Structures are given as structure tokens and as C-alpha cells.
Amino acid sequence: MIGEYSIMDITMIGTVIGVFATFVGMVVSIVAIIRDNRALRTQLKTLSEENKVLKTTLSKEHDEIKSDTSYVVDTLKIEKMARESLYHTTNKAQTILDTMDIMKEVVIQNYELQNRVSDLLNQNEKLLESDKDSKEQILGILSMVNSRLSELENYREAQEIQVILKSIRDNLRRV
């Protein structure tokens, strides 16, 4: 016996407190689960809507690809029929078709060359800008050296070096 309470009373109070704590823990867990379920439901709705939008976009792209493919197939069929017709109507059909194939290849190569020329022009512009920046840096360094040499005007060698620097500067500006 502890004070007025027996061991049975203390055990009973501990059990009641334990049951109450378990009950509170379960209520808190249920509230957290409900909150998490609501958040998941909202996220599921958002993802479902995004899925619908992507499905619509994909369907449109699929239709466009399908129409493009059917156009290419139709074009190839027309070309095949035109070749067959040409074979039946003229004796020089093979020569004409070979010439057409060569012309088609020339057009494709011309397109590729135009792209390559465009790339080379862009590279050339970048190199020219880089060259211009380098020249400006060199001219800046030369003017700095020239100003330092002008402080040494008493020496004959400094004047000769200034003449050399001036000729270098003039040559750089011409290039």
C-alpha cells in the first residue's frame, strides 16, 4: 500500500492512463492519415489532369505524324506510278530517271552545303570578334609600355623602343 492507494489502484490508474494515451495516439494517427489522404487525393487530381493534357497533346502529335507519313507514302506511290508510266511511254526512261535521281541528290547536297556554309560563317564571325578583342588587348599593352617608356625619355634606347612600338601598333591597325 502506498499512502491511501493500494497496488491494485495504482495498477488500475496506470492501465487507464495507458489506454487513454493509446486512444489519443490513435486519434492523432487517424487525423494525420486523413490529412495525408486529402493531400494525396489533391495530388492525384492534379496528376490526372496533367495526364489528360499530355494524352491530348500526344494524340494530336500522333495524328500529325500519321498524316505526314500517309503524305510521304502517297508521294512515293505517285512517284512509282510516274516512273512506271515513263518506262512504258519512252525508250530513254532509265536515263531520264537517273538524271532525276542525280538532280534530287544535287538538291539534297546543296541544302547540306548551305547549312555547312552558314555554320562556317558563324564560326568566322566568332573568330573575327576574338581576333578583334586580341588586337585591342595588344594595343592596350603597347600603349601602357609606351607610357612607361615616355617616363624614361632621357635614355636614347627608350626612344628607339618607342619607334619600334609605334611601327608594331601601325602594323596591327592595318591588319
| pLDDT tens profile 113-126 | 999 999 998 888 88
pLDDT at 150: 65
Identify the pLDDT of residue 9. 83
- pLDDT tens digits, residue range 122-155? 888 888 887 777 777 777 777 777 676 666 555 5
70 vs 3 pLDDT, higher one:
70
C-alpha dihedral sign at 57, 58, 63, 67? positive
Helix (H, G, I), strand (E, B) or coil at 65: helix
140: cell is: 592596350
Most confident region among 2-16, 96-110, 123-137 by mean pLDDT: 96-110
Residue-level pLDDT at 151 = 63
Which among 93, 72, 74, 95 has a CA at the least distance from the CA of 83?
Answer: 93
pLDDT at 133: 75
Confidence grade of residue 2 (pLDDT, cut at 50, 70, 90): low
User: Residue 7: pLDDT above 70?
Assistant: yes
Contacts of 150 (CB under 8 A, 6+ apart): 158, 162
pLDDT in tens, 11-69: 888 899 999 999 999 999 999 999 999 999 999 999 899 889 889 888 888 888 888 88
- Whether the per-residue pLDDT at 78 is higher than 80: the answer is yes
- Asked if the model's pLDDT at residue 1 lies above 70, the reply is no
Give 46's contacts (C-beta < 8 A, 6+ positions apart).
none
Q: What is the pLDDT of residue 15?
A: 93
Amino acid (one-letter) located at 100: M
Write down the pLDDT at residue 88.
76
